[in-house]
């Protein structure tokens, strides 16, 4: 293709990532220190995409304000999905903004450019759709695809494990017929599904190709997955994106501090005397790690402050979090409650959502989740899942 138009589906909240998504959508959560959606844009542009239509919904104003009308000189057009009624419905909202063959990807999953380029190259003139698939993946939480001689014979959203389905990577090339296919299949359980639209193409005897690829594919379903996403980025060598330094030039690191690679320390961070950062630590912009504090295997979002002599291990923080002096978050494993489910032995020291203020000298039981705008008094043992604006007292 001389020009490549892409549609990025980025309208969802990411409800299972609450409370991190209480005030911003999943696509703006950090993968290491960079929003997931920004990393998606980078991969698209690196394979030659010339214009991008972004379908936004939950937190749409934040997405539009963050990126504006262009990204890396590529124009961004925004389509609004006012109600989150499924991936097929989201794509229909972009119909008026696109023309001809389109590349479609999810805006809340990290997919390496190798997978995207393989799907683009595998799309033939005779195909109405081409689907990217991966081997050796657990398909139960995601979509599954059956292939026969390179043709897709079945697309299922949540297949049972049978050893035959391969993972639907969420990377597609579509001809315009996909829009009528989505409309004709209608809604199921109140939603219009993109896989159902592909199934409708198959029923009409359209050719749907499947391209088996290999490369980084990671998704954050639950809060602790943000740790795995960042670790996978480190291991793959993609963590720095277009920025090559692991410690930003505008960051300040005291001469007695210790930085243990791999790390990524964003601009305007300050690492105090005797502090230890890393390995596998991701510090967002304007994070302060005070004297003799320890941060390792953690994702600390922007404008956070880790107080003197504090220890933060295997943890995720939101924006503007304060961890007070002498507080200890020793790391997992622990049991984590999300809604009405309990996940056992997850590697999560604690999740502190946006603007949690820890007053210091506290200890967190592994698996603790603290909702946004909560205050934790000094000298407390903190455990369980706490709602937003909680006052935790000794």
Q: What is the pLDDT of residues 293-341, one digit of tens each?
A: 999 999 999 999 999 999 999 999 999 999 999 999 999 888 898 878 8
> Is 185 a residue whose pLDDT tops 90?
no
Q: What tokens does 385 get?
A: 């899942």
Look at residue 184 in the predicted model and tell me its pLDDT. 87
Look at residue 75 in the predicted model and tell me its pLDDT. 95
Instruction: Give the mean model confidence (pLDDT) for residues 226-254.
Output: 78
DSSP letter, residue 57? B
Tell me which range, 150-159, 224-233, 242-251, 352-361, is most confidently predicted by mean pLDDT: 352-361
Look at residue 338 in the predicted model and tell me its pLDDT. 83
Mean pLDDT of the chain: 90
How does strand 74-80 pair with strand 49-56? parallel
Considering the segment(s) 243-392 as one domain, its CATH architecture is 3 Solenoid (2.160)
Question: What is the distance between the alpha carbons of residues 133 and 116, in angstroms, rounded to a whole number?
Answer: 11
Three-class SS state of 231 = helix
Radius of gyration, CA atoms only, the chain: 22
* Per-residue confidence band for 177, with pLDDT thresholds at 50, 70 and 90: very high
Strand-by-strand arrangement of the 252-253 sheet: 252-253, 270-271, 288-289, 305-306, 322-323, 357-358, 375-376, 391-392
Percent of all residues in the chain with a pLDDT value above 90, rounded to a whole number: 61
For the ranges 64-68, 102-106, 157-161, 367-371, the lowest mean pLDDT is seen at 157-161
* Per-residue confidence band for 142, with pLDDT thresholds at 50, 70 and 90: confident
Q: Are 154 and 145 in contact (CB under 8 A)?
A: yes
Q: What tokens does 184 get?
A: 């004709």
DSSP letter, residue 191? B
Look at residue 159 in the predicted model and tell me its pLDDT. 66
> Is 157 a residue whose pLDDT tops 90?
no
Question: What is the distance between the alpha carbons of residues 50 and 7, in angstroms, rounded to a whole number?
Answer: 11
Look at residue 23 in the predicted model and tell me its pLDDT. 86
Q: Are 316 and 333 in contact (CB under 8 A)?
A: no
> Is 366 a residue whose pLDDT tops 60?
yes
Q: Provide the β-strand partners of residue 161.
A: none
Greater confidence (105 vs 153) lies with 105
CA distances from 323 to 223, 320, 328 (A): 19, 10, 9
Greater confidence (110 vs 273) lies with 273
* Per-residue confidence band for 13, with pLDDT thresholds at 50, 70 and 90: confident
Instruction: Give the mean model confidence (pLDDT) for residues 43-47.
Output: 93
The boundaries of every CATH 2.160.10.10 domain in the chain are 243-392
> Is 241 a residue whose pLDDT tops 60?
no
The boundaries of every CATH 3.90.550.10 domain in the chain are 4-219
* Per-residue confidence band for 160, with pLDDT thresholds at 50, 70 and 90: low
Considering the segment(s) 4-219 as one domain, its CATH architecture is Alpha-Beta Complex (3.90)
Percent of all residues in the chain with a pLDDT value above 70, rounded to a whole number: 94
The CA-based angle 31-36-39, given to 5 degrees, is 100
């Amino acid at each position: 293709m001389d020009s490549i138009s892409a549609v990025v589906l980025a309208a969802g909240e990411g409800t299972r990532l609450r409370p991190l998504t209480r005030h911003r959508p999943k696509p703006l959560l950090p993968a290491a220190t960079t929003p997931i959606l920004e990393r998606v844009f980078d991969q698209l542009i690196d394979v030659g995409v010339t214009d991008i239509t972004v379908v936004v919904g939950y937190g749409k104003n934040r997405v539009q304000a963050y990126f504006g009308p262009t990204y890396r000189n590529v124009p961004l057009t925004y389509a609004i999905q006012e109600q989150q009624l499924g991936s097929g419905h989201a794509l229909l909202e972009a119909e008026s903004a696109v023309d001809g063959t389109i590349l479609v990807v999810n805006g809340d999953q990290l997919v390496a450019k190798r997978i995207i380029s393989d799907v683009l190259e595998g799309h033939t003139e005779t195909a109405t759709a081409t689907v990217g698939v991966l081997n050796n993946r657990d398909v139960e939480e995601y979509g599954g695809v059956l292939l026969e001689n390179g043709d897709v014979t079945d697309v299922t959203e949540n297949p049972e494990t049978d050893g035959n389905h391969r993972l639907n990577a969420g990377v597609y090339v579509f001809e315009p017929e996909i829009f009528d296919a989505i409309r004709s299949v209608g809604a199921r359980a109140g939603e219009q599904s993109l896989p159902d639209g592909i199934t409708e193409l198959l029923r009409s005897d359209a050719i749907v190709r499947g391209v088996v690829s290999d490369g980084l594919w990671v998704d954050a379903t639950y809060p602790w997955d943000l740790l795995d996403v960042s670790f996978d980025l480190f291991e793959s060598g993609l963590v720095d994106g277009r920025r090559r330094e692991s410690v930003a030039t505008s960051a300040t690191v005291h001469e007695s501090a210790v930085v243990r690679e791999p790390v990524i320390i964003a601009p305007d961070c300050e690492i105090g005397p005797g502090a230890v950062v890393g390995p596998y630590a991701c510090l967002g912009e304007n994070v302060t790690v005070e004297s003799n504090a320890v941060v390792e295997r953690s994702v600390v979002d922007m404008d956070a402050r880790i107080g003197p002599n504090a220890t933060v291990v295997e943890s995720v923080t939101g924006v503007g979090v304060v961890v007070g002096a002498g507080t200890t978050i020793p790391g997992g494993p622990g049991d984590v409650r999300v809604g009405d489910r309990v996940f056992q032995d997850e590697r999560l020291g604690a999740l502190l959502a946006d603007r949690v203020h820890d007053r210091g000298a506290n200890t967190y039981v592994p698996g603790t989740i603290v909702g946004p705008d909560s205050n934790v008094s000094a000298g407390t043992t903190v455990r369980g899942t706490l709602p937003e604006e909680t006052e935790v007292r000794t």
